[in-house]
Amino acid sequence: MCGIAGWVSYRSDLTAERDTLLAMTRTLAARGPDGEGLWADTHVALGHRRLAVIDPDGGAQPMSAMSNGRTVAVATYNGEIYNYRELRHELELAGHTFDTRSDTEVMLHAYLQWDVDFVSRLNGMYAIAIWDARTEELLLVRDRLGVKPLYYAPLPGGVLFGSEPKAILAHREFSARVTPEGLAGLLTNLRSPGYAPLRGLREVRPGHLVKVSRSGCTERRYWGLDAHDHSDDLGTTVSTVRSLLEDIVDRQVVADVPLCTLLSGGLDSSAITALAARTLDTPVRSYALDFTAPAGFVPDPVRTSADAPIAALMAGHLGAQHSTVELSADQLAAQEVFDAVLRARDLPAWGDLDNSLYLLLDRVRQGATVALSGEAADELFGGYLWFHTPEAIGADTFPWFARLIDWTPRRGGSVLDPTFMWGVVLPTIRQQYEEALAEVPRLSSDSPAERRMREVSSMFLTRMLPEMLDRKDRISMAVGVEVRVPFCDHRLVDYVFNAPWALKTHDGREKSLLRSAVADLLPDVVAQRVKVPYPATQDPGYERAIRRRFAAIVADRNAPVRPLLDLAAAREALTRPVGQASMQHERLELERIVTMNDWLSRYEPELI
């Protein structure tokens, strides 16, 4: 797991641009604390920061492939190829020889053997840049689900690229500019494929590759959600999900460094931890999150039970080496933590949800370098409440925005300026929803109800999941932890996406297929546990800290986010009691505005 950066210019000699490339690469130092590498030729400069996970001694990058004493291709790469051993054997049979045990060298030789079609053979999470010295072309590749980030900015006569926007912003030819629609995206966390908040910046879309040549940048899809008939009955579907999960976890526990799981006590993380425990030769390590609170945990309509006790029960069931990381309101509200998360994400953050994840993973780094996590299970198996609420399913918008009308100025539930909300935010959401609908793969045989659930599932996988994956990658890499996400294996995604909704809810509950596939591995209290979202602190001390920061913004005429606010509504929000129903929606909005103000202050983008 690493950070990559680079520059292609067909108009310049980049061999003299070492300092520029070094500045770009060093913005990614947290992603790769174990090593740094640079490689340059006339029209290309590639940088790499390394977090050594596979073959620590032999996997240094950028890595070159030679033929007859000449460089043929050079790769800088971030990620893991889980089937690299099978690919290596196949390549050896084809005549390739290897000098290392790394998956990087296998990936590079796969490109030499199969050209751009090599991507269809990869099983993993990856952001890859390959410079083909024979054609003087750059290939950028991103994994199918977008687990690993990869940004690029076309320039006249070339391109800049990097694992994170900060690498591109370090270049003299790129500056931060943002449109009102970009601000709306930042506030709502809505991520369309290819979306980036800054003008001129793009993400390589999941399942796509970008080829850069003298004629410019061209993008091509090599994988995406596809609709096809599912003929397996319930028993076969459940057993297929189980066998896929066993194979996936077997592949993803391979590492030459300490490995652990992130265990919440929910169905997803418990399933992954149980499968890992069956595969590993030593007790699995696991980590859970908990909070200090004056009144202890109090159930509410969203979070009906606390994670930590059930995670400990699950760990005891498996004989895991388990740790609970307990955080206080003061730790979560610390300005240095907000600053660290902002640097990590290059985006306005989720307040205590991001801060707690950062502090948890910072503690994990003391005992492990690789962590398995349960992202994508809710999007794939139908875990969110929105999948099961008629109002959300039937809304003419993204299901998770179905309540947005309750936040709008007409209902007095938002502190955002009405003109900005009605003139920018809602139209932006509407446009992106229509784009998402147009991309949904369909079957003519689907009933109207099945058609809608296919649409809903597609939108969760292509619009919500990318935000979840980006959050987990950027925060984990900020502390030097590689997070692997077994539920993002494309074979599992393709299979479950096409299973009829009746199978996905065959027991009348959320995530029925997953529960049935792993129930024998789990205590009944875990297997039957109702879906609980990622934990949030209930300590009113944290909300008071957020309100103090929000009040300072309202009072500061120079606060950069202030023009986006309805000041009367903002002042009214500050008069309401701490800890009432607003704890969910209103606190989240205040957190978002506070972190948006931090983002605008740090990046000072030009508003266009």
Q: Which residues on adjacent β-strands are paired with residue 38?
A: 47
Assign 416 to helix, strand or coil.
strand
Which run of H or of E encompasses 606? strand 606-607
Between CA 418 and CA 564 the distance in angstroms is: 9
Both tokens of 189, joined, read 């966390």
> What's the rounded Cα separation, in Å, for the pair 227 and 496?
11
DSSP 502-532: HHHTTTSSTTHHHHHHHGGGS-HHHHTPPP-
Tell me if residue 9 falls in helix, strand or coil.
strand
Could you tell me whether strands 259-262 and 285-291 are parallel, antiparallel, or unpaired per DSSP bridges? Answer: parallel
Q: Residue 114's closest CA among 94, 138, 140, 142?
A: 94
Distance CA 273, CA 315 (A): 8
CA-based end-to-end distance of the chain: 36
Amino acid at residue number 112: L
Instruction: Quote the CA–CA distance of 384 and 398 in Å, as a whole number.
Output: 13
CB 544 within 8 A of CB 578: yes
Angle between helices 267-279 and 234-252 (to 10 degrees): 60
Cα-atom radius of gyration of the chain, to the nearest Å? 24
Positions marked active-site: 2
- AA identity, residue 589: E
94 is written with which tokens?
């084809």
Nearest Cα neighbor of 118 from 155, 161, 75, 159 is 75
In 3D space, the residue among 6, 83, 86 whose CA is nearest the CA of residue 39 turns out to be 6
Angle at 73 between CA 71 and CA 77, to 5 degrees: 130
- Closest Cα to residue 83, out of 119, 51, 47? 119
Could you give the 3-state DSSP secondary structure of residue 204? coil
Alpha carbon 577 to its chain's center: 34
Q: How is residue 346 written in tokens?
A: 């290059």
Cβ pair 471, 354 in contact under 8 A: yes
Contact 527, 507 (CB under 8 A): no
Query: Tokens in use for 515?
Result: 């529960």
Residue showing tokens 């596979």: 54
